[in-house]
Amino acid sequence: MRAAILHGAHDFRIEELPTPVLKEDECLLKVKSCGVCHSEIHQWNENISGLEYPRFIGHETAGEIIAVGSGVTKFKIGDRAASWVDGKGYAEELAVKESRLFKMSEELPYDLAILEPVACTTNGVMKANIQLGDTVALAGTGFMGLILLQQIKLTGASKVIALDIRDEMLELAKELGADVVINPQKEDYKKIINDLTDGKGVDVSFEIGGVQSTLDLAADILRMEGKLVIFGYHPGERKIKDLGYWNWMAFDIINAHFRNLDTILLGSRIGMKLMNEKKINMKPLITHKYKLTEIEDAFKVAKDKPKGFVKSVIVFE
Ligand SMILES: [Zn+2]
């Protein structure tokens, strides 16, 4: 079987590898799709010291089960499943523990069954514990923000406000249910939000962009004792410039990152259910599709984010 192995910066190579040997509790997945994750871009864009190359990455996988280990009870050959794995996903075949596989409905196309990000957003929304009638803001509506938006709409929030500096993302946010969209570079976001909230600020503010500006923005529009949900991925050094202000405002700071496997699998199970029941629309979010042999292009587009880009996915023939 073929796999794409990352040998260094901008250096994926397609290699022939043996079919993985299954353990008792594993299924063999014929991989049909694997999403390109934002968290992988930096290790492709440059050689990161401390990381070992070559690397066998890819973790947003879905496919068809073509063999099962002797101890597998919940899956059979021919089942369609998305998986939570910690790598080896940019490959035609992948061995996955059955506890990390989640059945897909017949109607859900493989290229839309991008489960791992949905597991993260599901856990993030559950941890934020949004209350009926809350006004919720999203600072940064890229791929993750647009999934969060749809899930927050399911919680009974009264208003969901999307903030992004890319107008085309705001248009998409509106299509997917945002009640108000604001471009903070062009509009007086503080005034708009004050007008919407009797001058108080929003009840819950999700920081999603993972950069200083979205962190500052999320805090700037939050009401006293509101929930500041740090959902963005913040590698390297970041400064909380206004800790004094956050402290004075009595923000409830929620770190929406999860490392415990049980929590991740719970988020995967619930996220899969929402996708199977069409409560999340992934179709407008999967904007760029590539073959395994075009994986360099898939990463390049994910890094450059041309106009209209939301997410790239590798699809296997
Ligand atoms: Zn990911």
Give the model's pLDDT for residue 138. 98
Residue of 57, 110, 108, 26 whose CA lies nearest to 316: 110
Instruction: Note the Cα 202 to chain centre separation in Å.
Output: 23
Average of pLDDT values for 217-233? 96
Question: CA 172 to CA 156: how far, in whole Å?
Answer: 21
Give the pair of three-digit tokens for residue 98: 């059955």
Per DSSP, the three-state class of 211 is coil
Q: Ligand 1 centroid vs 85 CA: distance in angstroms?
A: 10
Which tokens belong to 199?
């001058």
C-alpha 86 – ligand 1 centre gap (Å): 9
pLDDT tens digits, residue range 84-129? 999 999 999 999 999 999 999 999 999 999 999 999 999 999 999 9
User: How high is the pLDDT of residue 317?
Assistant: 82
Cα 60 to ligand 1 centroid, rounded to whole Å:
6
Intra-chain end-to-end CA distance of the chain, in Å: 13
Rounded average pLDDT over 289-317: 97
Rg (CA), the chain: 20
Q: What is the CA(78)–ligand 1 centre distance, in A?
A: 25
Residue 235 in this model has a pLDDT that exceeds 80 = no
Give me ligand 1 centre to Cα 122, in Å. 13
- pLDDT at 203 exceeding the cut of 80: yes
Residue type at position 248: W
For residue 232, report the distance from its CA to the centre of ligand 1, in Å.
12
Q: How many CA atoms lie within 13 A of 122 on its CB side?
A: 21
Domains of the chain: 2-114+286-315 (3.90.180.10), 118-255 (3.40.50.720)
Q: State in Å: Cα 210 to ligand 1 middle.
A: 14
Q: Which of 18, 283, 292 is nearest to 143 (CA)?
A: 283
Residue 260 Cα to ligand 1 midpoint, Å, equals 16
CA of 117 to the centre of ligand 1 (A): 5
Mean pLDDT over each residue of the chain, to the nearest integer: 96
pTM of the model: 0.96
Q: What are phi and psi of 126, to 5 degrees?
A: -65, -40
Task: Break the chain down into helix, strand, coil percent, rounded to 5.
Answer: 30, 25, 40
- Name 81's bridge partners: 63, 103
Residue 234 has a pLDDT of 83
